[in-house]
Amino acid sequence: MELKSNEEKITRALLVSVDTGEYDAQASLDELFELVKSAGADPVLSVTQNLQKIEKGTFVGTGKLAEIAEICESQEIDLLVFDSELSPTQIKNIEAETDVRVIDRTTLILDIFAQRARSKEGKLQVELAQLKYMLPRLTGKGIAMSRLGGGIGTRGPGETKLETDRRHIRRRIESLKEELSDLEKHRQMLRSRRKKDGVITCAIVGYTNAGKSTLMNCLTDAGVLAQDKLFATLDPTSRALKLPSGVTVMMIDTVGLVRRLPHHLVEAFRSTLEEAAQSDIILNVCDASSDEARTHMQVTTDLLESLGCGDTPIITVLNKCDLLDETMLAQDFKTCVRISAKNGTGIDELLNAIENNLPVRMKRVKILLPFAQAGLANEIRNKGTLIYEEYVAEGLSVEAVVDEALYAKLAKYECE
């Protein structure tokens, strides 16, 4: 990703926030700092204004805008990043006053996603979200989109430059929708096949940078990129995990979330998010060392509810617990599984929690089969997961994990 000018100068960004009391503006601004850094720019300074109501034409007040213009000139600011969604008119007016390119939070997040996408589907989803957001913000035929020279907000997936002609954008949007529809049909087919084959799925979801990929690597040795930056992982990764009981679970790593995630992005990534939402078990991973831990958990919970996950077992996993003392953990988080994906602490407890939430269609049984039922023993070996077997005087003592259909045949032989 290249964010340097011809003079190899890193983009210097001024961050702007307006606090109307609608949400925690400072926490959102702190997150914006990290987002800007993830995009490759340097968040030099920030400006916050308290307003009861957003200014329709310039977002901030006239006096504050003049102050921002002075800061831009004195600090050699290249980019203004607003921590809210801006209208085309607001962008135009702010740029006219400051003579600096302006983007909003949504454009920034879309740009980061564009740089992180690796799979074909991920790239198509991001480009669709970018173009749908850009279309109403183009002026005239689209060629003269305000200051659309280069840098953050102008890059599509794979460093391609985004289309800026209205007619071409509309055609491209329809083409992207068709391609994504075909990919979704293929995804549904694979999902149906997994269900038919009795494959259990467990999705790892949570706030960005919570350590989901590190946990995925810890559990499955997946080799997923794990970095200390926002949205390091974008495309879902699936790997098999063999539980202590012998049951194999398909683990799915997913894109990280942020507060106020752009609805264009949620819409574009809905099929990918639903892949996680339709899992048998969901791990809601949270960074226990973050001051915003509870807020981060709630952001994930709200999204899962919007995707209809109310009946799915959700295990709340507190990662990075090695960075906190036990007293704080006991006071603040009493019902969560506490782990450190980095050093392996608590992983056994997490595996047990997954075992305890396995779907009903898989059941662990202890049975005593009469010698005359040798055929059932072979069926267990072929269709189930055999944990233990021993010939005793009365027959064959077996412990295994089986599906519901096989369990129905074995239930009468079950023992304590």
Q: What is the pLDDT of residue 281?
A: 94
Q: What are the tens digits of pLDDT across the range 85-95?
A: 999 999 999 99
Q: What is the pLDDT of residue 226?
A: 55
Note the pTM of the prediction, 2 decimals.
0.74
| Residue entry with tokens 């996993």 | 317
The CA distance from 100 to 85, in Å, is: 17
Q: What is the pLDDT of residue 144?
A: 38
Q: What is the pLDDT of residue 276?
A: 77
Domain(s) labelled CATH 3.30.70 in the chain stretch across 362-413
- Of the candidates 211, 210, 204, 207, which has an alpha carbon nearest to the alpha carbon of residue 260? 207
Q: Is residue 159 scored above 70 in pLDDT?
A: no
**HEC profile for 314-356?**
EEEEEECHHHCCHHHHHHHCCCCEECECCCCECHHHHHHHHHH
- Of the candidates 109, 126, 121, 224, which has an alpha carbon nearest to the alpha carbon of residue 182? 121
- Which residue did the predictor score with more confidence, 81 or 158? 81
- Which residue did the predictor score with more confidence, 158 or 343? 343
Domain(s) labelled CATH 3.40.50.11060 in the chain stretch across 12-111
The CA distance from 332 to 276, in Å, is: 27
- Of the candidates 321, 320, 300, 295, which has an alpha carbon nearest to the alpha carbon of residue 312? 300
SS3 of residue 40 by DSSP:
coil
Which of 5-19, 54-68, 265-279, 281-295 has the largest mean confidence? 54-68
- Domain at 12-111, CATH from 3.40.50.11060, 3.30.70.260, 3.20.20.190, 1.10.1270.20: 3.40.50.11060
User: Could you give the percent of the chain with pLDDT greater than 70?
Assistant: 86
Rounded-to-5 percentages of helix, strand, coil across the chain: 45, 25, 35
Q: What are the tens digits of pLDDT across the range 199-252?
A: 889 999 988 888 888 899 899 876 555 555 555 555 567 888 988 877 889 998
Q: CB neighbours of 334 closer than 8 A, spacing ≥ 6?
A: none
Q: What are the tens digits of pLDDT across the range 35-85?
A: 999 889 999 999 999 999 999 999 999 999 999 999 999 999 999 999 999
Sign of CA dihedral 28, 32, 33, 35: positive
Q: What are the tens digits of pLDDT across the range 304-353?
A: 888 888 788 999 999 998 887 665 555 556 568 999 998 999 999 999 99
| Residue entry with tokens 């790892």 | 204
The CA distance from 59 to 82, in Å, is: 9
Q: What is the CATH number of domain 362-413?
A: 3.30.70
The CA distance from 289 to 245, in Å, is: 32
| Mean pLDDT over each residue of the chain, to the nearest integer | 84
- Where does the pLDDT of residue 104 fall: very low under 50, low under 70, confident under 90, or very high at 90 and above? very high
Are 301 and 284 in contact, with CB atoms under 8 Å apart?
A: yes
State the fold for domain 199-356: Rossmann fold (3.40.50)
SS3 of residue 4 by DSSP:
strand
Which of 37-46, 232-241, 269-278, 377-386 has the largest mean confidence? 37-46
- Where does the pLDDT of residue 283 fall: very low under 50, low under 70, confident under 90, or very high at 90 and above? very high
Angle at CA 73, nearest 5°, toward 71 and 78? 95
Q: Is residue 163 scored above 60 in pLDDT?
A: yes
Domain(s) labelled CATH 3.40.50.300 in the chain stretch across 199-356
